[in-house]
A = this chain, B = another copy of it.
């Protein structure tokens, strides 16, 4: 049984240069980034002459043990956590992707989605390339190889010049670590320092765990080459409007991370406050579904004066049972994770503060259990506008069919879930709460305005053989 009801992120990346514990630090970095991908993980390290890799399907602590980490010798490493769609050929899609060409080995960890992947792959195949996986990262390595005669820096510029879409990457050669991010800057990527070594990570929470110092973010469009004697930043592409993924703030990133220049917790709290400003609800208390809604709920309650309660209790040992419930156990999937507290809910008027609604099926089940626990009125406030359009840049709600708001009105959604009222935060309200310039974000999932149009043949994950 899996308990994955929210939208799913594709990946987290991590890299280390110049630290004797490179693989171990990468392990802990991935451990802190586990929320960005739980289906496969991998680490590749370089000891100069030899490249070592270890990958597998599962959670970071299940895939690596002391022996595996010891074998990942060397002071450079890149790692990856991935959420991937199911299918028969998923094990081979675990990143980092590793390949060799004329005695040089490359390993790459990629977060995001290329929107012209199919087109690039077709061109490469016409030139004779063969593919072993369906990952964008394999395409990037092929392109780098085709330009390898120019030297690494030129090859990178040539290669990235051909990529369209979202990519925040850590690339390792036998003696270098290269971090680069697409000019739009869809996905986060930050730079840290630990002892004498450099760290690259999707989120700052990974730096915090290993006690590395957060120096700055990798800029959109930047290529940062970290070598023994150099730390070289190049920005070869014309500057473009930034389009950060606002959903990283709303749902994906860990609240203790700072991304795009703002602490995620603080943004979420402001989103909650904005909701309280936009909607006035008469209720006995407000509550989140732990833990994703906690921070917006705190902001909502502080602003509205409505008391905060924890109307459902999270079972901390949940998430790993594969036993089917017995027939009489209705709503098991919800209850095994979140048990309603009858004494708190009974005969009460409740506001649920929630981050977002994707399919609404989980919300419907949860609301049912609250009703059964005796709640009299249930209102729901959502910390973003209705999700209406698929994402082409790395979030797994890529078809309209998965988004209830794509073809249902707010009234219809309210009725489907079984609420007394349903309030979405306004788009301007959401943008204001971020604390950034309103033009800094990709809002395509809300308004359908895509910063980069996907090329024909785009189907995100499924470039099946």
Contact = CB atoms under 8 A, between A and B. Distances in A.
Contacts of A320: 59, 61-62
B291 A314 contact: yes
A317 to B, nearest CB: 4
A64 B321 CA distance: 9
A322 B65 contact: yes
Interface stretch (A47-55, A153-161, A224-232, A422-430): A47-55
A71 interface: yes
Copies of this chain, whole number = 4
A323 to B, nearest CB: 6
A295 interface: yes
A465 B265 contact: no
Given A298-B308, A323-B24, A35 B145 contact: no
A341 B209 contact: no
Given A31-B317, A298-B309, A339-B256, A132 B100 contact: yes
Interface in A249-303: 254-256, 258, 263, 265-266, 290-291, 294-295, 298, 301-302
Nearest to A369: B208
A82 interface: no
Contact of A256 (B88, B195, B208, B313): B313
Contacts of A308: 298, 301, 308
A322 to B, nearest CB: 7
Nearest to A338: B256
Contacts of A51: 88-89, 465
A27 B323 contact: yes
Contacts of A98: 132
A325 interface: yes
A266 B325 contact: no
Max chain B CB contacts within 10 Å: which of A208, A323, A336? A323
Contacts of A50: 88, 464
B323 A35 contact: no
B307 A295 contact: no
A25 interface: yes
A28 B324 CA distance: 10
Nearest to A81: B317
Nearest to A147: B128
A101 B143 CA distance: 16
A195 B330 CA distance: 13
Interface string A56-73: 000111101110010100
Contact of A102 (B65, B125, B315): B125
The range of chain A's interface size is 35 or more
A242 interface: no
Given A52-B88, A130-B99, A265 B31 contact: no
A21 B132 contact: no
Interface in A301-335: 301-302, 307-310, 313-317, 320-330, 332, 335
Contacts of A103: 465
A298 B323 contact: no
Interface in A334-348: 335-336, 339-344
Given A263-B342, A265-B343, 13 more contacts: A24-B326, A38-B317, A50-B88, A51-B89, A52-B88, A60-B317, A61-B317, A61-B323, A64-B323, A195-B328, A205-B313, A298-B308, A298-B309
Interface of A: 21, 24-25, 27-28, 31-32, 34-35, 38, 50-53, 59-62, 64-66, 69, 71, 88-89, 92, 98-103, 105, 122, 125-132, 141-142, 145-146, 194-195, 205, 208-211, 254-256, 258, 263, 265-266, 290-291, 294-295, 298, 301-302, 307-310, 313-317, 320-330, 332, 335-336, 339-344, 464-465
Which 5 pairs between the two chains have the least Cβ-Cβ distance? Answer: A263-B343, A100-B465, A34-B317, A21-B326, A256-B313
